[in-house]
Structure 1
Amino acid sequence: MEQLPSSFLSRMEQMLQEEYPAFYKSYEAPRKFGLRVNTNKISVEKFLEISPFSLTPIPWVSNGFFYGEEERPSRHPYYAAGLYYLQEPSAMTPAERLEITPGEYVLDLCAAPGGKATALGAKLQGKGFLVANDISNSRAKALLRNLELFGIRNSMVTNETPGRLAGYFPEFFDKILVDAPCSGEGMFRKDPDVAKTWDETRPEFFGKIQKDIIANAISMLKPGGRLLYSTCTFSPVENEGLISYVLEHFPEMKLLDIAPYEGFAPGYPSLGNNDERLAKCVRIFPHRMDGEGHFLALMEKEGTLTPSSDRPRTKLDKISQKLLEDFFQNVSAPYDFQKMEVRGSNVYYLPDKDTCSLKGIKFLRNGLFLGELKKNRFEPSQPFAMALSGEDYAHVINLSSSDERIARYLKGETLLLSEAETPAQNGWQLVCTDGFPLGWGKAVGSTLKNKYPSGWRQMG
């Protein structure tokens, strides 16, 4: 065990008292590894039928599983097919405990790298609108990639400060997740480098940032909407202290009970303003559960939730419409041409949302990038492939996950097809593994030209 900061340990001993020895000893135990099934692409039951891994259910997450450190799910073709996300088990809890109904407008305010945003997007099942925001442009790019890998087609990835974002979306969202930047004390076991950079000033530093974030998040929440605040730290000022601030300054917000689990610990009113409602918060400690440290608080805004019903309508020019109609003759999944928009030569499928103005907002992607219009043809995109199922396209090259050509395809190599695999006609093929899309290829006789994008390719 790495040496932990003495002032941190003193505070934890005072907080936990008789539980402190068990907490301290938990740092000698190995960290746990988690996998969350992408229910946007596959049911948990079906995944367990085909899973090549030895999995144990995470009891407080309906689609979460522990896997052994010796296994390498990130190297399996199913990872490239977006069938699961690798995530620390406790970190799965916030998105699990924020109830989402398909069709709602949802915001993940501090979303990168996408663990919680992909979970929220999967819950929407392609209906409604997900805004996933991160203030860091480089981290927002990683967020976009993960949403694309998961096949989330109804999202907008923004790169704004919470204050600027609030100007665009006043009382707009049904549900908001704020997984706030924090001092990271709950991750000391998972990442010892966090402990090395920690000092006593960090909780106060992040506490000020969190107050600004939560105030802007509340302003974007509809009356009757729900907000889940979470951190991966034990620090009182960032947890009960922050929620005390909300209760004192935003009387329209009330704390709700969180669906229980036997390992959850209640919040400590004495670590905040002594408001007994703080006991509704949840703390996750590594000596009580098989995960790292986390804090959660679920709140609801006073009022009655009203559904959003407006939908975008666009009109394509005749040439674009014809090229898209030609390609979509081979697509059986329902796509509405009145939700397609051409920007330059790129075609996007817009998510369901009302008509609020987004002029001037910084974003990386609004909707699903379908592909590019070129002279006399439409070329489909990688995100479009990931948003399809193996049954959604008429021309499929389906390779077993054990086929050595899968690794070569993911590296960008040209593939040779057997006589039985050679399609009856040349052209675009949806390349799948065990029926799950990986990307596109273009058949020329028995040769499959690789269209897997360079930025997605696996090296080595």
Structure 2
Amino acid sequence: MHSNVYLPDEFLHEMSAILPAHLSMADFIESCQQPLRKSIRVNTLKMSVDQFKRLANSKGWQLTQIPWCETGFWIDADESEVPLGNTAEHMCGVFYIQEASSMLPVTALFPNQETPFLSVLDMAAAPGSKTTQIAAMMDNGGVLVANEFSSSRVKVLHANIERCGVRNCALSNFDARVFGGWLPEQFDAILLDAPCSGEGTVRKDADAMKNWSKASTLAIAETQKDLIESAFHALKPGGYLVYSTCTLSVEENQQVCHHLKETFGENIEFDSLGSLFPDAEKALTEEGFLHVFPQIYDSEGFFVARLKKTGSVAAPEVKKRLGKFPFSKASKRQVQDIEAQLQQQLHISLPNDCQIWLRDDDVWLFPNALEPMLGELRFSRMGIKIAQTHKKGYRWQHQVATTLATGDEPCCVELCIEDAREWYMGRDIRPDNQSGKGEVFVTFNNQVIGLGKWVGNRIKNGLPRELVRDKNLF
């Protein structure tokens, strides 16, 4: 019980005015004072849900299905010795610790369309929970542009993308208001999980409302209106836009969506989420949005709306100064050489929906669907870096292991638990009675966790620094 949760009187007055008739303020306050149930999402880029269920059973983890996410579960696990975030399964990206309500927007973004989305934009992506969920829904196909305004959070975003085996992503670091003018009508689907006042997060952070004010809420809503207009312009006609927040006020939620409808009229439609999952009607608004108060599903407070763009509108004109694009597409001969050596040394074949691009001595793998955007926007990182060239060939990189390897390659070395701990702490390892030559995938519990290189009877550690952990490991 978090009885010390701070709920300003003015905020409670605002909530009492908008709370649906079938809900009570007493239940709302009581729910806000209850800690959240822990929830996780299975990363199907690494493991199927059925495989994860068997894994959880072997570890004594109790799973309860989250109704709006086929890969999401509330989890009851003994964390007295090792927190879930320090388990081997979490560190190699098999699952992501994610609040249950936070899984709703991505579920809403993917209606049962006949053709998969080839281009998706996540406008406010860090720390990466929804980005990695989108990538899994896309099965690493097409291109996913993940934007984050805060430079300091881009590193966290990239680390999570890397950990989860995402290879179809391009990262950018902009105020998301630029997308409507810079990439007009470029995306099949867009998620705008907008920056907000965070009124729904008090169950996670008892002090979340310490600086709350009505004036601040209204100011944030103006920024949200700018962002949703930008999203509209960046969306292709016929595409879907999901707008979501972890706040509860109508000013930051319903009114932002109505602003878009009022601005673009018949070119935007509200798409009802009433059939998204069983019992969705308990949180349904008259417009078809989901306004999730914490007591409805015993979760964080959240808001989700799905909108469809039905017509084209001229985007704002912008002047671009991008400079020379620093990458060049690999020649046919270079591609053949890279593919041959990758197959010979690591038994890896490159996916058909990607292309090899070069920058100085670096070899990159870009999604084909990214190419129309190259030269239109400056990305901070695109696709995955697979190699560095040197005089004797190629030095393969960590993301070859996390995004392309399956663990069935003959150059895999299965580690014992002690060696796996050493690996995650960034140290070289000496597997018992083994030695070899060249680069090798290291695995633990049959999951690929990295790429190393034999030096006699020692495997030199190739784990990127941002993924190194220093204590309390499985």
| TM-score > 0.5 by shorter chain | yes
Mapped contact 1:56–1:66 kept (Cα < 8 A): yes
Range moving further from structure 2, 14-23 or 25-34: 14-23
SS of structure 2 residue aligned to 1:247 = helix
Equivalent of 1:316 in 305, 327, 331: 331
1:84 Cα deviation after fit:
1.0
Alpha-carbon distance, 1:389 to partner: 3.4
User: Residues 311-460 of structure 1 correspond to what in structure 2 (within 5 A)?
Assistant: 314-316=329-331, 322=337, 325-329=340-344, 330-335=346-351, 339-353=355-369, 355-359=371-375, 361-391=377-407, 393-399=409-415, 403-419=417-433, 422=434, 425-460=436-471
Q: Which residue of 2 aligns with 1:146?
A: 160
Distance 1:25 1:201 in 2: 26
Question: What SS does structure 1 have at the residue aligned with 2:52?
Answer: helix
Of residues 47, 57, 61, the one that matches 2:52 is 47
> Within 2, Cα distance between the matches of 1:357 and 1:56?
41
Q: Which deviations, in whole Å up to 9, do the C-alpha atoms of 1:243-271 show, x marking residues without a partner?
A: 11112111211011111331654455xxx
1:272 aligned residue:
none
The AA in structure 2 aligned to 1:104 is L
1:35 aligns with 2:40: yes
Aligned-pair distance for 1:381?
A: 1.6
- Asked whether the 8 Å contact 1:389–1:436 carries over to 2, the reply is no
Query: For 2:243 and 2:458, how far apart are their aligned partners in 1?
Result: 52
Instruction: Tell me, in whole angstroms, the C-alpha distance in 2 between the residues paired with 1:303 and 1:245.
Output: 17
Which whole-Å deviations, capped at 9, do the CAs of 1:46-82 have from their partners, x for residues lacking one?
1111123332222221111112375321111111211
Assess if the C-alpha contact under 8 Å between 2:388 and 2:397 holds in 1: yes
Alpha-carbon separation, structure 2, partners of 1:451 and 1:241: 50
What is residue 324 of structure 2 aligned with on the other side?
none
Please tell me whether the aligned partners of residues 101 and 299 of structure 2 are also in contact (alpha carbons under 8 angstroms). Answer: yes
- The one-character-per-residue Cα deviations of 1:156-181 (angstroms, maximum 9, x if unpaired) are 11112223233332111111111000
Query: Helix, strand or coil for the counterpart of 2:120?
Result: strand
Among 203, 223, 233, the alignment partner of 1:189 is: 203
Greater shift, 286-295 or 156-165, is seen at 156-165
Q: Judge which range, 376-385 or 174-183, deviates more.
A: 376-385
User: Which of 1, 6, 26 is equivalent to 1:3?
Assistant: 6
The alpha carbon displacement at 1:372 in A equals 1.4
- Residue of structure 1 in register with 2:270 after alignment: 255
Q: How far, CA to CA, are the matches of 1:147 and 1:347 in structure 2?
A: 19
Residue identity matched to 1:255: F
* CA deviation after TM superposition for structure 1 residue 38, in Å: 0.4
- Asked if the contact 2:109–2:242 (Cα under 8 Å) also holds between the matched residues in 1, the reply is yes
1:59 aligns with 2:74: no
Q: In the TM superposition, what is the alpha-carbon distance from 1:108 to its structure 2 partner?
A: 0.6
- Greater shift in the superposed pair: 282-291 or 358-367: 358-367
- 1:264–1:87 CA distance, 2 compared to 1 (3 A): farther
Give the conservation status (yes or no) of the 8 Å contact 2:62–2:77.
no
Tell whether 2:305 aligns with 1:297: yes
The aligned counterpart of 1:288 is: 296
CA deviation string 1:10-32 (max 9, x = no partner): 11122225521111111232212
Q: 1:243 to 1:265 in 2, by over 3 A?
A: farther
Q: Distance in 1 between matches of 2:185 and 2:117?
A: 17
Matched, 1:130 2:133: no
Cα contact 1:416–1:447 (8 A) shared by 2: yes
**Alpha-carbon distance in 1 for matches of 2:152, 2:257:** 30
Q: Distance in 2 between matches of 1:240 and 1:303?
A: 22
TM-score (norm 2): 0.87
Partner in structure 2 of residue 85 of structure 1: 96
Contact kept, 8 Å, 2:431 with 2:457, in 1: the verdict is yes
Amino acid corresponding to residue 315 of structure 1 in structure 2: A
In 2, Cα distance between the equivalents of 1:47 and 1:217? 35
Q: 1:357 to 1:84 in 2, by over 3 A?
A: closer
Q: Secondary structure at the residue paired with 1:170?
A: coil
Deviations 1:60-117 (A, max 9, x none): 2111111237532111111121111111111111112211754521111111111111
Q: Distance in 2 between matches of 1:182 and 1:28?
A: 21
- In 2, distance between residues paired with 1:394 and 1:168? 46
1:273 aligns to what?
A: none
Alignment of 1:190-205 (within 5 A): 190-205=204-219
Report what 2:76 is aligned to.
Answer: 68
The residue number in structure 2 matching 1:308 is none
Change (3 A) 1:392 1:176: farther
Distance 1:168 1:414, change over 3 A: same
CA distance in 2, matches of 1:354, 1:427: 33
Q: Does the 8 Å CA contact 2:125/2:148 hold for their aligned counterparts?
A: yes
Do the aligned partners of residues 247 and 323 (structure 1) sit closer, same or farther apart at CA in structure 2, a change above 3 Å counting? Answer: closer
> Which residue identity does 1:211 align to in structure 2?
K
Asked whether the equivalents of residues 108 and 176 of structure 1 are also in contact (C-alpha less than 8 Å), the reply is yes
Distance change in 2, residues 1:323/1:27 (3 Å):
closer
Q: Percent identity at matched positions?
A: 32
Rounded to whole Å, the distance in 2 between the matches of 1:114 and 1:366 is 16
1:223: how far off?
0.7
| 1:284-314 alpha-carbon deviations (Å, 9 max, x no partner) | 111111210000110111159xxxxxxx993
Q: Which one of the candidate residues 194, 203, 208 is aligned to 1:180?
A: 194
Q: CA-atom RMSD, angstroms? A: 2.3
For these two proteins, the number of residue pairs brought into alignment is: 439
The correspondence for 1:19, drawn from 4, 14, 24, is 24
Question: Is the contact between residue 185 and residue 235 of structure 2 (CA under 8 Å) also seen in structure 1?
Answer: yes
Task: State the SS of the aligned residue for 2:372.
Answer: coil
List runs of 5+ in structure 2 lacking aligned partners.
313-326
Instruction: Give the TM-score taking structure 1 as reference length.
Output: 0.89
Partner residue, 2:320? none
Task: Classify the secondary structure of the residue corresponding to 1:359.
Answer: coil
Which amino acid is the alignment partner of residue 56 of structure 1?
A: T
